[in-house]
Amino acid sequence: MVKDPEIGSHVPSGASLSERLERRGRRGAAMRRPNILMTGTPGVGKTTLCKEIASRTGLTYINVGDLAKEGELYEGFDEEYECPILDEDRVIDEMEAEMSDGGVIVDYHSCDFFPERWFNIVFVLRTENSFLYDRLESRGYKGKKLQDNIQCEIFQTIYEEAMSSYREEIVHQLSSNTPEDMERNLDQIIQWIEQWIKDNN
């Protein structure tokens, strides 16, 4: 996992170490609201929850899939899964400035390529297989793509990825099966955001 990359588009390649640290320090000092990562297998409800949190709190919402599509941040095409391959370095370059300012909620089904320093908390949404199967099928998932995503949830692949990529104490699992689960998660996350702002300002 990339722990602390130097982003050429935001820090000139010729900048000295002290200049880089100064820039980074200025960004950190200005961060008055937390950065949140919402991750989990496709179909667990990340986008619905993120949009509602952003609406209620004023946090900036970034859907990494949409960002990549708009900027064509791809490095190829996966024939087996019939989907483009994300150019992770370009995505990080694109997001760096906004993440440094704070107050961002990021929505993506993978999490191990983001810089660890970006996030104050990581939520992994989990959904029971019966619910997930129906959701993915309604999206048009089928065959290997459908089965692999179900297996990913069964073996808690995304949770393990998050635990190995970020400090254990900032990674939290949340059940996301029903509308009641979403409301409970929404309330808990908003309370956490409010407390973080109170503690850090």
Task: Tell whether 46 is in a known binding site.
Answer: yes
Domains located in the chain, CATH noted: 38-185 (3.40.50.300)
pLDDT in tens, 113-131: 999 999 999 999 999 999 9
Reference 9, options 103, 119, 102, 89; nearest CA is 89
Task: Tell whether 139 is in a known binding site.
Answer: yes
Task: Tell whether 45 is in a known binding site.
Answer: yes
CA–CA separation, 63 and 50 (whole Å): 9
CB contact at 8 A, 12 and 22: no
C-alpha dist (Å) from residue 27 to 7, 19, 47, 118: 14, 12, 27, 12
Is residue 27 over pLDDT 60? Answer: no
Is residue 21 over pLDDT 50? Answer: no
Q: What token pair was written down for 129?
A: 């297989």
- For residue 6, give every residue at least 6 positions away whose Cβ sits within 8 Å of its Cβ, in sequence order, or none: 20
pLDDT bin (cut points 50, 70, 90) of residue 30 is low
Task: Tell whether 14 is in a known binding site.
Answer: no
Task: Tell whether 127 is in a known binding site.
Answer: no
Task: Tell whether 43 is in a known binding site.
Answer: yes
**Whole-structure pTM value:** 0.83
